[in-house]
């Protein structure tokens, strides 16, 4: 699966719509992880959240 920054995605198991913030994910030391995507979303309390997911956990909407 090819993700681009700004793509709208969701966990395959459901949940909030999220925006791809970084793909491939890079750690602070610059190591690139092509199998991981960083996503951002607002939760039910309107707080901005972010997490890194494996590409097999999410799907484009």
**Residue 3 covered by a domain:** no
Q: What is the pLDDT, as a whole number, of residue 14? A: 97
pTM: 0.93
**Residue 37 covered by a domain:** yes
Range of the domain at 52: 8-60
Interval 32-54 mean pLDDT? 97
Residue 1 pLDDT more than 90?
A: no
What is the per-residue burial (b if ≥16 Cβ within 10 Å, else e) of 10-39?
beeeeeeebebbbbebeeeeeeebeebbbb
**Residue 2 covered by a domain:** no
Find the helix or strand (DSSP H, E) in which 37 lies.
strand 36-42
Total domains, the chain: 1
**Residue 33 covered by a domain:** yes
Distance from C-alpha of 19 to C-alpha of 9, rounded to nearest angstrom: 6
**Residue 19 covered by a domain:** yes
Q: What is the pLDDT, as a whole number, of residue 61? A: 96
Q: How many residues does the chain have?
A: 61
**Residue 1 covered by a domain:** no
**Residue 39 covered by a domain:** yes
**Residue 31 covered by a domain:** yes
């Amino acid at each position: 699966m090819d993700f681009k920054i700004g793509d709208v995605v969701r966990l395959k198991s459901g949940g909030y719509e999220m925006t791809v913030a970084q793909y491939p994910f890079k750690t602070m030391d610059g190591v690139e992880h092509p199998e991981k995507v960083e996503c951002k979303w607002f939760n039910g309390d309107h707080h901005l959240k972010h997490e890194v997911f494996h590409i097999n956990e999410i799907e484009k909407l």
